[in-house]
Amino acid sequence: MKRIIAMLLAIIMVCAAFAGCSDGGSGSPDDVIQEGPEVVDPGNFVNTDIYPLEGEHALSMGIALENAQESYLLKLMSDAVGVDISYRYVTDEQAPLLFVDMEQMPDMLFSAAGTFGLTLQRINGYGTAGALVNYMDHLDKMPNLSKAYMEHPDLFDGVMSADGAVYTLPYYVYTLTGCTNLIYFRGDHLAEVGWEKQPATVEELTQLLQALKDHYGANDPKYIPMIAYEAGHVGFDNRLTQWLYPAFGKEVDPGVHIGSEGKAMAGFATEQYKLMTAYIRQLVKDGLLDEDLFSAKSSLMQAFMNENHTSVSTRMLNIPTESYANGVENFYISQPLTSEHTDTAVFAEPTIARKWGAMISTTCEDLDAALAYMDAFFATESNPLNEEGTIYNLSLWLGEEGVDWEWVEEGKSYKEAEKPEGWSAQHGFSGTPYIGRFHVMRMNADGTADLLPQGVYDNCLPYAKPVIRDEALALTDDENDIYVEKWMDISKYVSQMFSAFVTGDSDIDAEWDTYVDNLYQMGLQDVLDCYDAAYARYTAK
């Protein structure tokens, strides 16, 4: 059986290699309607009646963490569950090879939110071939996951295949701290040049960046007003474009999504996108945005920010307090902008349900223990894993409440307590698939923490607009074949041309029409037709 599975998986790997960044679903006939899972109400179950598990349970895990056996957090959770886990470090390159030789497959694969670089399409292909456990077949043994779904019916939207299977657990961030379009402004730098608040229009953004350049650049030859923390933040559909795109028209998302007319559309092929791209080009041309933004490396950019060579960035965390004026951390989080093209400030609501790298192999001989282990990460503070009430989902992130950290203000901040010996080396794995009320924090000088993205709630939440993106729409096998055939070349071309337009290697006014024509000649409409069909099923479920 394992050899048959391996043969099927080898075929899938060849096909999936052409999928590019696809997160489309897989594995159903054309006329199937993706239904929500049938979940039995777990009732008032108590986790301490379940954990730790009775008897002895030993499981193996492939994990995207070196020296995982030394992780204090992983041991804390495995002890609470009652399983003995042997860890094997697996890289993104190694993960697909495990499916070729199922004899070498560990019981579980675990990679926080990274999923070993595997697209959802490939994960679903492995599952359809029989290599991964379908969680939907075992929800009766996962009461925490079932309860989470009942509280948030969209929990599985980011991971479910077109035929209703779930092979990797969902990562559910139901706070706007999951945003991927945030831009950070140094508050002390803005105040220094006479700006008491961040800009509200693209015109004001230009004025601010110019004022910063004139002031700080006069004495610092390395200074650049605005940078990308890493190259991925300035992709054709990432932080910078997701922030700026809504300021140039009525649509809110630069990628493939369901637009305002109720049809699948590609923001990157619109006149609105052209206006935005031309604006970004002008910022680069005027020296207000780093001209090397497509080669930015986070390892370099952190030091660049720490040394005060920039004031605006796609990420601005972990800057030492001594870098700030008066030694106090001070930055703004972006608000939606307007322009002469629209007077409506709007924020594209982030994708709440995403794929989490937590999979169980069908070769696992102690399936119930593996299911219980995965289910434990959905335990909440109101129903903890231990009698003391100190271990629950946040323990994979922070450790044990009251031992490693404690709440200061209920639900809003926490304080780190005395850390276990070797914590800094052992802490290196953090994440929970069900964050709940917990938000991203920042540490203050007195050891307390406050809500890091308060600006998200102040500046973005009032303008949030729900968006149905391509990753929420599961494709059938036939549709996915079309997607695989077309999308890799399309996305590569879009990325190349966005870079060329922004850097000036291509003239956006002279070449835009040719760019759009090429997209449709490459099959963009075929891709959009697939998502129109998927959207029809989505609305019918």
pLDDT of amino acid 113:
56
Report helix, strand or coil for 4. helix
Q: What token pair was written down for 506?
A: 């291509």
pLDDT of amino acid 12:
47
Single-letter amino acid, residue 137: D
Same domain, 344 and 357: no
Q: Among 61-65, 137-141, 163-167, 451-455, where is mean pLDDT lowest?
A: 451-455
Same domain, 114 and 219: no
Whether 40 is in a domain gets the answer no
Whether 441 is in a domain gets the answer no
**What percentage of the chain reaches a pLDDT higher than 70?**
81
Same domain, 78 and 134: yes
Same domain, 76 and 141: yes
Whether 7 is in a domain gets the answer yes
Whether 420 is in a domain gets the answer no
Where residue 284 falls among pLDDT bands split at 50, 70, 90? very high
d(CA 72, CA 428): 9
- The predicted model gives 193-201 an average pLDDT of 92
> Which of 14, 486, 397 lies closest to 173, judged by CA?
397
Q: What is the mean pLDDT of the chain?
A: 83
Q: What token pair was written down for 38?
A: 């049938």
pLDDT of amino acid 173:
66
Same domain, 24 and 157: yes
CA distances from 458 to 166, 225, 335 (A): 35, 24, 8
pLDDT tens string 484-510: 899 989 999 999 999 999 999 999 999
pLDDT tens string 322-334: 899 888 878 888 8
Query: Number of H helices and number of E strands within the chain?
Result: 17, 18
Where residue 438 falls among pLDDT bands split at 50, 70, 90? very low
d(CA 481, CA 119): 15
Same domain, 488 and 365: no
Whether 239 is in a domain gets the answer yes
Where residue 7 falls among pLDDT bands split at 50, 70, 90? very low
Q: Which residue has the higher pLDDT, 260 or 351?
A: 260
145 contacts 139 by C-beta, under 8 angstroms: yes
pLDDT tens string 13-60: 444 444 434 444 433 333 433 455 567 789 899 999 999 999 999 999
Same domain, 344 and 380: no
Domain of residue 489 covers 180-349+452-541
pLDDT at 250 over 60: yes
Same domain, 187 and 311: yes
Whether 73 is in a domain gets the answer yes
Tell me the residue ranges of DSSP E strands in 187-343.
Answer: 226-227, 256-258, 264-266, 312-313, 331-333
pLDDT tens string 344-369: 999 888 777 778 889 999 999 999 99
Please name the helix (run of DSSP H) or strand (run of DSSP E) that holds residue 207, with its range, or none: helix 202-216
Same domain, 13 and 104: yes
Q: Are strands 170-172 and 405-409 parallel, antiparallel or unpaired?
A: unpaired
Same domain, 262 and 386: no
Same domain, 325 and 241: yes
Whether 416 is in a domain gets the answer no
**What percentage of the chain reaches a pLDDT higher than 90?**
51
| Count: domains in the chain | 2
Q: How many residues does the chain have?
A: 541
CATH of the domain at 15: 3.40.190.10
Same domain, 163 and 309: no
Whether 511 is in a domain gets the answer yes
Q: Among 73-87, 443-457, 522-536, where is mean pLDDT lowest?
A: 443-457
pLDDT at 296 over 60: yes
d(CA 268, CA 408): 45
